[in-house]
Chain A
Amino acid sequence: MSSSQGENALVVTPPPGGRSTAGDGATTAPSPARRPRGTDWRTRAEIALLAGPAIVVFVAFVIFPVLMAAYYGFFRWKGYGPPTDFVGLQNYVAILQDTTFHDALRHNGFIVVMSLVMQGPAAVALALLLNRRMRGRSVIRVLIFVPYVISEVIVGVGWSLMLQTSGAVNGFLTKIGLEAWTVDWLSDPDIAIWSLMIIITWKYIGFAVILFLAGLQSIPEELHEAAAIDGASFWQAQRSITLPLLGPTMRIWAFLSIIGALQLFDLVYIIWGQYVSATAGTSTMATYMVLNGRNAGNYGFGNAVAVVLFLISLVIALTYQRFVLRRDTEGALTGGTK
């Protein structure tokens, strides 16, 4: 924000004061400040040497597979030899007509909304709390981030042991006299998705808190001092200063949370395994993809699911960016870095 000129114009738009690079190419006179030395071929060689490896690895392992997914999606293919059995849009028709997929999609939608509702307010409150000067703050911060740092597998294995019918959670409830509250946390279809939401909230709220803390640190202290001098209470100051200035951070967090929720795979697959998630009502598009694609040996079909998942995410991401993020960032995903 401070030196916005230089950072704002990053790469996509022509640099301030510089000329458009589109027409004149690399052979015309370089702008004096920027290309002080070196012959042209030498500069090109440097660029190729420095950027080449990253581009090769990235294109080979990210772009190429994604394009291949789109291609394989049109075939009925068991994964061996080149795909030959072209079936057009048949895979896509099958996906869109499959009620199991509809269920998965519905679960994803639920998880998207509930993640925002359950994590957002709590994370803002936590960040405000942890941003105050208090004894042991750094210890508390580290401890609160623990769930975020440990792996999905550990979270999955640990929580599924605790949530077993004869597990620690029900044991604890019985011990404190709430025996009536003991339920089948993981297998009851009415409960399971809520258990999943509790686990997701527990696991990922630390990430939201980290982002919000970083956002809070960029709010100038002077604003709070001024508010204090004017006699504003702590809560008034938070409501009128902190929350509005934290807006951009919240909108970026919400974006990341939505995308993450749409792609959710690890936790569900680890806790509910390959087969139970659909009956427990926690299947997601990604578990549907793995189950019906690779595990079933139908690679063409699996790739088609990946494409559907990608398109749904893309549409949501672009819509969100168009209507929500636009005020903060001008094309963070499609262009510049501001």
Chain B
Amino acid sequence: MAAIAVQTTPARAPGPARRRGSTLHRVNPLVYVVAWLLVGVCIGPVAFIILGGLRTNSQITADPSGFPTTWEFGNYSSVLTSSLFWQQAANSAIAGISTTLGVVVLGVMASFVLARYRFNGQAAMYTLFAAGLMFPMTVAITPLYILVRALGLMNTLPGIILPQIAFALPVTIIILVPFLRAIPKELEEAASIDGASRLGFFVRMVVPLSLPGVVTVGILAFVASWNSYMLPLFILNNEVMYTLPLGVQSFASQYSVDTARVLAFVSLSMIPALIFFSLFERRIVGGLTGAVKG
């Protein structure tokens, strides 16, 4: 849902640029109070989920908003020892990694063509992809389901991977084209003098040089795939093939009386996206810098 439909210019190297915009004034202590209050609001519900998984159902019933009085690890260990959880986590990982690889490979190749070749129909090609931003999956979901069924990919991971790649391409291309365009022409000429073909230039120079943009689009694609709900909901129809979001939902309705275990399941399923994002938060903000100016 949260397609980042903005255009980027390549981010400046992280580092000095990150300091920009901060003021020279001393920071008022009140700022800290407000900031941590907001953190509390953002983290509160997440803490409720994680801590709830450490309580027993009777504790939760007696005092739904309390802290754990005794630490109950049974919920987490019962989820961690269930093969279904690991199966679904593996499905999510396979779908996420394949989607990311597919988006990056196809996206870099197409963006390279758009950025550094000149041919008839180039404008049309760019417009085709840019127009893709106007087609969110919600609109296409019913025919997509019919198409995937006709291809015999129902209830398989490729059935969600291929559409996810396709729907991630517009954003990827719009972010990557300026990156590739910014690579100096002199580099290409130098490579050509050294005897590299344009494809050789692509493999040896373009791919490494566009890495920051590639990482940004890769993270966006992975997190979107990890969290995606609507497409798997239509395509996958048994528990063994479910990705984690569907697994969470079916677990929550199946064990609706066992609130603590549901909370443990939910907590464990959000960990990978959280780790991933914390590691790359700077890069995402950095990669979008310049994306949003006029």
Contact with A along B44-62 (1 / 0, CB 8 A): 0110110010000000010
- Assembly CA distance A129 to B23 (angstroms): 11
A215 at the interface (CB under 8 A from B): yes
Q: Residue of A at shortest CB range from B109? A: A50
- Assembly CA distance A221 to B16 (angstroms): 11
The answer to whether B197 and A11 touch across the interface, beta carbons within 8 angstroms, is no
Q: How far is the CB of A205 from chain B (nearest CB, A)?
A: 8
The answer to whether B140 and A62 touch across the interface, beta carbons within 8 angstroms, is yes
The answer to whether B18 and A217 touch across the interface, beta carbons within 8 angstroms, is yes
The residue that A265 contacts in the complex, of B41, B138, B244, B252, with Cβ under 8 A, is B138
Given A11-B114, A51-B125, A202-B41, also A151-B227 (CB < 8 A): yes
Residues on the B chain within 8 Å of A153, using CB? 227, 229, 245-246, 248-249
The answer to whether A51 and B49 touch across the interface, beta carbons within 8 angstroms, is no
The answer to whether A57 and B273 touch across the interface, beta carbons within 8 angstroms, is no
The answer to whether B177 and A61 touch across the interface, beta carbons within 8 angstroms, is no
A179 at the interface (CB under 8 A from B): no
The residue that A34 contacts in the complex, of B118, B145, B248, B270, with Cβ under 8 A, is B118
A178 at the interface (CB under 8 A from B): no
Contact with A along B130-157 (1 / 0, CB 8 A): 1111111011111111110000000000
Q: Residue of A at shortest CB range from B43? A: A143
Given A7-B178, A36-B192, also A154-B248 (CB < 8 A): yes
Contact with A along B230-272 (1 / 0, CB 8 A): 1000100000000011101100100000010011001001100
The residue that B118 contacts in the complex, of A15, A79, A168, with Cβ under 8 A, is A15
Given A65-B147, A303-B142, A310-B135, also A51-B110 (CB < 8 A): yes
The residue that B123 contacts in the complex, of A12, A35, A132, A167, with Cβ under 8 A, is A12
A218 at the interface (CB under 8 A from B): yes
The answer to whether A65 and B7 touch across the interface, beta carbons within 8 angstroms, is no
Given A12-B127, A144-B38, A252-B6, also A202-B45 (CB < 8 A): yes
- Assembly CA distance A214 to B288 (angstroms): 6
The answer to whether A147 and B46 touch across the interface, beta carbons within 8 angstroms, is yes
Give the bracket for the number of chain A residues in contact with chain B.
35 or more
- Assembly CA distance A140 to B281 (angstroms): 12
Q: Residue of A at shortest CB range from B147? A: A65
The answer to whether A219 and B245 touch across the interface, beta carbons within 8 angstroms, is no
The residue that A57 contacts in the complex, of B17, B106, B119, B266, with Cβ under 8 A, is B106
Contact with A along B183-204 (1 / 0, CB 8 A): 0010001001000011100100
Interface residues of A (CB under 8 A from B): 1-3, 6-7, 10-12, 15, 18, 21-22, 25-26, 30-31, 33-38, 43-44, 46-47, 49-51, 53-55, 57-66, 68-69, 72, 79, 126, 129-135, 138, 140-154, 156-159, 161-162, 166-172, 175, 202, 204, 206-207, 210-211, 213-221, 224-225, 228, 234, 237, 242, 247-249, 252-253, 255-256, 259-260, 263-266, 270, 286, 289-290, 293-294, 299, 302-303, 306-307, 309-310, 313-314, 317, 327-329, 332-335, 337-338
Give 28 pairs: A residue, B residue, CB < 8 Å, sorted on A.
A7-B182, A12-B123, A21-B119, A46-B199, A57-B169, A61-B147, A69-B139, A126-B38, A133-B27, A141-B281, A142-B277, A146-B274, A162-B45, A168-B64, A171-B63, A171-B65, A202-B41, A202-B42, A215-B292, A219-B20, A221-B21, A242-B21, A249-B292, A249-B293, A256-B2, A290-B141, A313-B136, A333-B130
Task: Supply 9 further A-B pairs (C-beta < 8 A) apart from A134-B31, A221-B22.
Answer: A11-B122, A11-B123, A46-B117, A54-B173, A145-B281, A215-B293, A263-B138, A309-B138, A332-B5
